[in-house]
């Protein structure tokens, strides 16, 4: 199933130009337990709804960015560089 994804650098492109990098979750602190690291590396919440995800534009600018996507209908709410989260520079999907 295809959909459009807006790279913050290149603009709207077919999702097949990108590599999915998984859901975004907090990295454990230094000295965290093995269980915390196991959960971080292997455990996924598999959200049915809105989540933040990593995406890599492999057939374009070859940069990583994040997208907020509704997994129930593949609608992309916004895409952004990680250092601009919450800023007005985020690329918001056209309705």
Binding of residue 10 to Zn ion (CB under 5 A): yes
* Closest approach of Zn ion to the CB of residue 60, in Å: 3
Tell me the window of 31-39, 56-64, 70-78, 86-94 that interacts with Zn ion (CB under 5 A).
56-64
Nearer of residues 50 and 61 to Zn ion, judged by Cβ: 61
Phi, psi (rounded to 5 degrees) for 42:
-110, -25
The DSSP letter of residue 49 is S
* Closest approach of Zn ion to the CB of residue 46, in Å: 27
């Amino acid at each position: 199933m295809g959909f459009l994804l807006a790279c913050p650098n290149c603009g709207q492109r077919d999702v097949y130009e990108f590599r999915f990098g998984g859901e975004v979750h907090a990295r454990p602190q230094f000295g965290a337990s093995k269980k915390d690291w196991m959960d971080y590396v292997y455990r996924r919440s598999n959200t049915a709804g809105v989540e933040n995800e990593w995406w890599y534009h492999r057939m374009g600018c070859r940069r990583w960015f994040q997208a907020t996507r509704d997994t129930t209908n593949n609608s992309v709410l916004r895409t952004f560089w990680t250092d601009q989260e919450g800023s007005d520079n985020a690329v918001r999907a056209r309705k």
